[in-house]
Amino acid sequence: GHQMEQLEFHHYSTHPTSNRPRAWVEVEPGIEQLVLNEDLSTGRRTLLQRWQPHTTNTKPNYVHDFVEEILLLEGDLRLLCAVAAEGSSSCAGCGMPKWGKGSYAYRNPGMDHGPFHSETGCLMYVTCIPQATSFT
C-alpha cells in the first residue's frame, strides 16, 4: 500500500532516490506548491507553498476536511484587507496583522479561514493530515 516515504535529509528540490526534480505546480494565480511527501491512499501530504509578491488568493475562504499546519519560512502573509482587495499594492494602514518569518498556524478540519494577501511574497511549509472518515 501507499504511505509516506521515509526520507533522509536531502535538498527539497530533488527527490533523493529518483533524482528527479520536484515540480512547482500553480494552484492559483501567483501561488505554487511543491509536494515533498504524500500518501495517495489517505491524502496526507507535506508541501512547500510559495506566493509571488502582491498575491491574493482567489478563493473567498477555505474550509477543508483535514488538519493543516503551517510554518511561514520567509516573507509575509495577512488576512486580505479592503485596501488590497481594491487592487492596491500596499497594505499600509489597513490595520490587519501581518505575519512574518516564524509564524505558525494549526487549523482543525472545518475551520473557515482566508482569503489572504502577501505583500512581499512568502514561502510556507505545510502539512495536511486527513481525519478518519466515517462512511456509515
Dmax over CA atoms of the chain, in Å, equals: 52
* Opening angle at CA 65, ends 61 and 69, nearest 5: 75
- Per-residue pLDDT reduced to its tens digit, 44-90: 999 999 999 999 887 765 556 788 899 999 999 988 766 655 665 55
Q: Is-contact 66 43, C-beta < 8 A?
A: yes
Compute the distance between CA of residue 1 and CA of residue 80 in angstroms, rounded to an integer. Answer: 41
SS3 content of the chain, % helix, strand, coil (to 5): 5, 45, 55
Q: What is the mean pLDDT of residues 28-56?
A: 94
